[in-house]
Structure formats: structure tokens, C-alpha cells
Amino acid sequence: MGAVLRGSGVSPGAGYGPVYLLAGAIPEPPAGQRHDGDAVAEKKRATAALARVADDLEARGERAGGTARDVLSAQAMMARDPGLEVGVAELVDTGTAGPRAVFEAFGRYRELLAAVGGYLAERVADLDDIRDRTIAVLTGLPMPGVPEHAAEPYVLVARDLAPADTAVLNRDLVAAFVTEEGGPTSHTAILARAMGVPAVVGCAGATGLVAGDRVLVDGAAGTVTVEPARERVDAVLGAAAARQAALTATTGPGATADGFAVPLLANIGGPRDLAAALAHGAEGVGLYRTEFLFLDRAEAPSEVEQEAAYRAVFEAFPGGRVVVRTLDAGADKPLAFLPPPGEEPNPALGERGLRMFRRYPDMMASQLGALARAVTGTTALPYVMAPMVATVEEAAWFAEACHQAGLATAGIMIEVPSAALRARDLAAAVDFFSIGTNDLTQYTLAADRQVSAVAELQDPWHPAVLDLIALAAEGAAAAGKPCGVCGEAAADPVLACVLTGLGVTSLSMGAPALPWVRAALARHTVEQCRAAAVAARGATTATQAKDAARGALPGLAELGL
């Protein structure tokens, strides 16, 4: 057996095939490259090249559809950014040739994005891709891209994959993705999961692999084995196939092995995510992140536009629960038309979520009104909840506003430790809870979600987070109210069993995680889930909590978890 490279497994399953190395980056145009003196013509050429790249990205998105269409149209918007065009024009005016001007203007944006960190820093790969495509158009080089034909499925290896590369891939020709860079929220990871392609990202040494060498990619373990022995290939592929069979064999509503119902719901960002939610058997929507409708806008969407987007979701789940979260603006999701009062040195602790509505009550009234109209005539069960609630006064204020708007079921997200600690008081003021473990972890461990240097602390397995979840679930149960989880923790099949054992009454997650969570629950009784929860809370570290829970959940082995 050859070398084993390691990275993060971000899309489960196994793939085996020859390495296809994605063409290297387009060479940097030489520094000091000058145009022939006709700045007007050079600017036209550069503008036309940017427009052609944007058109091409949009066309690829249309051909691919689904998640890829959204990703590519966002990338096309970057290519159409007037700021970039102005930056290029200014450089051309000083005599710089078009390709070099594009390179330098993009370089400035690149630095800005990289400096922000987090999600935006991961968009740097998208920006580099647009830059390379534009330079390719200007210099007559072939566009970077993936093969459209191959004799057998290949393992696509790259420094990072741009959405434009992955969107038009023929799924049958790709055995797996491996990238040298990228993290769990990179586009490679998101699209790989959406396409069901096994993937390993952040894999040091990947671009040093030799084209044509055969590699075995384990997207769960995060390993890439070079020229593995045939028996190992058979074992890993066989185990992956068995896991897949076990997954697809478990169908129907979420329940433990002894029939304790745990409804499994989908997290969505808008109507475009409905198809995947339905395809993976979601019993409803557990988190509709409505802010996606508001982001990247100069003005708020009209009530008519909002109503249409909400209605599409209500109509997709006749008789089913649809939990809509009101606008969660601020912090990592700033909105141009809802500016905070002034400088916020710690935006995550500033005016975000429901706090923003206290400053802009008309915005809340307009969203609640649109929701109330959208549900009329549908049979969906609308649950409306507010993010970032810290006090009982806020909870009561929001519930009252919902009831006045004609929305009978009003709840809150439990994301702030104060809300979990005093869950009994808050439960009396609202109709349901949904725990946002992403923010609850951030605030419990005082580790900003946006700061990768403290990413290790962002672990929902930490017993302190588990204790707060237990308190929230107990508070809700004492008042006879439901308490779901809609943070990423619910998508971890092992943690999902623990959450059930802690008393959580429903689980909501990105659609691809649904079969895994369904299968993990179906293999354990509610007593086993409770024992796993007790074991996890008895631990002192996140790692020990996870190990202790796994020890109490014997059915995980069958799923290779």
C-alpha cells in the first residue's frame, strides 16, 4: 500500500479511481505589463471579458440547476461588481494592460475578503476563479475546467474547486473530490454533499499526487490512500456500500428503535431547498432562515415578494410543521438597509437578531404580516420564532407581536446561555423552543463563530453546552411545550441520539444529513439515547463526551459511524 494523505472528510462514502489533476492556475500576467496606449479600447476589452465570464457562469448554473445555480449566480454577481470594473479601469488609465489590471484589481478584493476571515475568506477561491477566467478570455488561453468525458470515473484533485468546475460535472464520471485547501464550509464541501460525492478537503500534499495514479478516498475518515492493495479497496468500497444500503433501508418518520417519535425536519434557506428536503424525507421544515431573502439587497424585499417566498414553503408541506425564523440580521449577516446604531466592536454581542427588530419594529410587522397572509389557504402548521432572545421580556414581546399578526404559534430560539438557564421562565411566555446550537456554543464557550483561531472551542459536544441543552429541554417539558434543535449539532447522527436522550423533541438539519440521523435513531432505543446523554454529560471534555456517548450507542458500528 502507498502513502496515506489526511484531510477533513466532509462528504461521506468512498471512491476509487485514477487521479485527475485540475489544470493549474492561469499564469500571472507579468508585473509592469502595459497596453498599446488606447486605454478606451483596453477598458472595453476588459469589461467585455468580465461580462462574458459572468454570462458563462450564469449559463453553467442554469445547465446544472439546484444548489449549483445559486452558487454560480452569486459568483456571477461578483464578476459584475461595479467596484471591480472601476478598479480595472483605473489601472488601465495609468497604462496597465488589461490582464495585469484584472490581476491587480482582483488582488485588492482578495486581501479584503481574506482579512475578514470565516465564510467570506472561503469566497477567495471563487474570486480567484473569476480572475483566472477573465484573464483566460483576455489572453486567449483555454478556460480552466474539468473533463467532460472519461473512460472510467476519476478522482478530481485540485488546490480548491471553484463552483464553476463542480457545477457541470457529470456525477457518473466522478468517484470523489480531494482538495488541498478548503474547510467544511467551502463550496467544494457544500456541493460535494449536495451531489453525494465522497470528498476530502484541506488535504496536505493532494496537489503533489501524480495524474493517473489510483487512489482510494474515504470521505468519512478523511483519508486518501495512494495505490492501495486490491483487498483494501474491496473492503472500503464494500463497507461504504453496506452503509449506503443500511441508510436507504431506514425510511419513514424519525423514531427510535422502540418507536419513540422524533420528527426529522429540514433546515432551508428558501424555496430552492425544498426539493432536497422532500427527497430526503423531511417531515416538515424546522428552520427556514428567512434572512437569505434579505441579504445582498439595497432595500428590503417587498411584502408581496416575501409572501410568495413564504407561501411556496408552506405549500410544500401540506399538514406539516413549517418553522419560520424571522430575520436574523446583524453580526455575520449585516444588511445595508438596517444599519446598527454605531460602531460595534463585538458584532456577535451587538444588535443582531430580535434586537434589531426592537430598533426597526416596522420591519418585524411587515415580515409577520407577510407570513400571516402567506399561510392563508394552505394547510401547513406555521411556527414562527425569533433568533437571539436573551430575556423573558423579549420573548413575551415577540410572542405578543406574532399573536397580534394572527400567527398563533410563536416561539424563540435558545441561542443565548441566559435563555437556557432560565428556560422555565421563557417557556411560560412562548409556545415552543428551538435550540440553535451554533450560536449557543459560540456564546457558551465565548468563541466567535467567525474566528477560525478559536474554532476548536466551537464544539457542541462540550458538556457545558449539553448541560444548557438539557436545561432548555427540561424547562420546555415542564411547561408542556416542544423543544427542537435546529443547529448543526442535530446533523451529527451520534449527537442526534444524545439530544434525543436529553429530552429534545424534534431535530432539524440540512437535508443530506436526514438519512444518517434517521438510521442512527432507528438503531437505538430511547433508553440507550438517555444513557448516552448521561454518559456525555458525565464527561469533562468535548472529546470525552463524544467517546462516552459512542460507547453507549452500539448500533453506530453498522453505519460505520
Residues classed as catalytic? 187, 486
Cβ proximity to ligand PEP: between 50 and 486 the closer is: 486
> Which residues contact ligand PEP by CB under 6 A?
287, 289, 328, 415, 436-439, 486-487
By a kind-dependent CB cut-off of 5 to 8 A, residue 481 interacts, out of ligand PEP, Mg ion, none, with: none
In the complex, the smallest distance separating the C-beta of residue 436 from Mg ion, rounded to whole angstroms, is: 4
The one among 202, 284, 436, 560 contacting Mg ion by CB under 5 A: 436
The one among 165, 283, 394, 439 contacting Mg ion by CB under 5 A: 439
* DSSP string over 115-128: HH-HHHHTTHHHHH
Cβ proximity to ligand PEP: between 119 and 260 the closer is: 119
Round to whole Å and give the CA distance between 49 and 73.
17
C-alpha cell at 44: 472595453
Nearest CA to 433 out of 361, 329, 508 is that of 508
By a kind-dependent CB cut-off of 5 to 8 A, residue 273 interacts, out of ligand PEP, Mg ion, none, with: none
Considering only 197-205, 392-400, 439-447, 463-471, which stretch makes contact with Mg ion by CB under 5 A? 439-447
By a kind-dependent CB cut-off of 5 to 8 A, residue 163 interacts, out of ligand PEP, Mg ion, none, with: none
Residue corresponding to grid cell 449539532: 489
CB-CB contact of 536 with 512 (8 Å)? no
In the complex, the smallest distance separating the C-beta of residue 279 from Mg ion, rounded to whole angstroms, is: 26
Cβ proximity to Mg ion: between 187 and 449 the closer is: 449
Q: Quick check: 448 binds Mg ion (CB under 5 A)? A: no
In the complex, the smallest distance separating the C-beta of residue 485 from ligand PEP, rounded to whole angstroms, is: 8
In the complex, the smallest distance separating the C-beta of residue 272 from Mg ion, rounded to whole angstroms, is: 21
Cβ proximity to ligand PEP: between 42 and 439 the closer is: 439
Bridge partners of 18, per DSSP, are: 214
Bridge partners of 16, per DSSP, are: 216
CB-CB contact of 265 with 508 (8 Å)? yes
In the complex, the smallest distance separating the C-beta of residue 334 from ligand PEP, rounded to whole angstroms, is: 14
C-alpha cell at 383: 411556527
Number of residues that bind Mg ion (CB under 5 A): 3
In the complex, the smallest distance separating the C-beta of residue 507 from ligand PEP, rounded to whole angstroms, is: 12
Cβ proximity to ligand PEP: between 35 and 123 the closer is: 123
Cβ proximity to Mg ion: between 132 and 439 the closer is: 439
By a kind-dependent CB cut-off of 5 to 8 A, residue 42 interacts, out of ligand PEP, Mg ion, none, with: none
Residue type, 25: A
By a kind-dependent CB cut-off of 5 to 8 A, residue 394 interacts, out of Mg ion, ligand PEP, none, with: none
In the complex, the smallest distance separating the C-beta of residue 280 from ligand PEP, rounded to whole angstroms, is: 18
Nearest CA to 156 out of 201, 102, 116 is that of 201
Round to whole Å and give the CA distance between 162 and 153.
20
Residues 380-419 that bind Mg ion (CB under 5 A): 415
In the complex, the smallest distance separating the C-beta of residue 153 from ligand PEP, rounded to whole angstroms, is: 35
Residue corresponding to grid cell 502507498: 2
Cβ proximity to ligand PEP: between 169 and 327 the closer is: 327
CB-CB contact of 133 with 53 (8 Å)? yes
Q: Which residues of 253-287 are buried (b: 16+ CB within 10 A; e: fewer)?
A: ebbbeeeeebbbbbbbbbbbbbebbeebbbbbbbb
Nearest CA to 166 out of 136, 125, 202 is that of 125
Nearest CA to 335 out of 309, 361, 353, 316 is that of 353
Alpha-carbon 331 to chain mean position? 17
By a kind-dependent CB cut-off of 5 to 8 A, residue 307 interacts, out of ligand PEP, Mg ion, none, with: none
CB-CB contact of 71 with 61 (8 Å)? yes
- Say how many CA atoms lie within 13 Å of 56 toward its Cβ: 19
By a kind-dependent CB cut-off of 5 to 8 A, residue 418 interacts, out of Mg ion, ligand PEP, none, with: none
Considering only 255-263, 420-428, 436-444, 519-527, which stretch makes contact with Mg ion by CB under 5 A? 436-444
What distances in angstroms separate CA 448 from CA 13, 144, 309, 416, 489, one per listed residue?
31, 36, 31, 13, 17
In the complex, the smallest distance separating the C-beta of residue 289 from ligand PEP, rounded to whole angstroms, is: 5
What distances in angstroms separate CA 160 from CA 26, 64, 204, 285, 429, one per listed residue?
14, 20, 12, 32, 48
Cβ proximity to ligand PEP: between 274 and 323 the closer is: 323
Cβ proximity to ligand PEP: between 87 and 487 the closer is: 487
* DSSP string over 58-110: HHHHHHH-HHHHHHHHHHHHHHT-HHHHHHHHHHHHTTB-HHHHHHHHHHHHH
In the complex, the smallest distance separating the C-beta of residue 486 from Mg ion, rounded to whole angstroms, is: 9
What distances in angstroms separate CA 284 from CA 251, 315, 499, 504, one per listed residue?
15, 11, 19, 16
- Spatial neighbors of 537 by CB under 8 A, at least 6 apart, are 463, 466, 467, 470, 545
- Tell me the helices (H) and strands (E) count for the chain, helix number first: 22, 16
Name the site residues for Mg ion (rule: CB under 5 A).
415, 436, 439
